[in-house]
Amino acid sequence: MSQMIHDDEDFPAEDEFLDAEAAQSGPIIAFDDLIFACTNLCDLLEIENEALANHDPDTVKILTENKLALAKLYEQAVQPLIVTPELAETLEPEQRDELVAVGTRLKELMGINEIRLRAEMEAYQRVMDILADAAKKQATNVTTYGRAGTFDHASGVGGSLSFNKSL
pLDDT tens figures, 106-155: 999 999 999 999 999 998 899 988 888 887 777 565 666 667 777 666 54
Amino acid making up residue 38 = C
Tell me the pairing of strands 139-141 and 155-157.
antiparallel
Say how many residues make up the chain: 167
**pTM of the entire predicted model:** 0.64
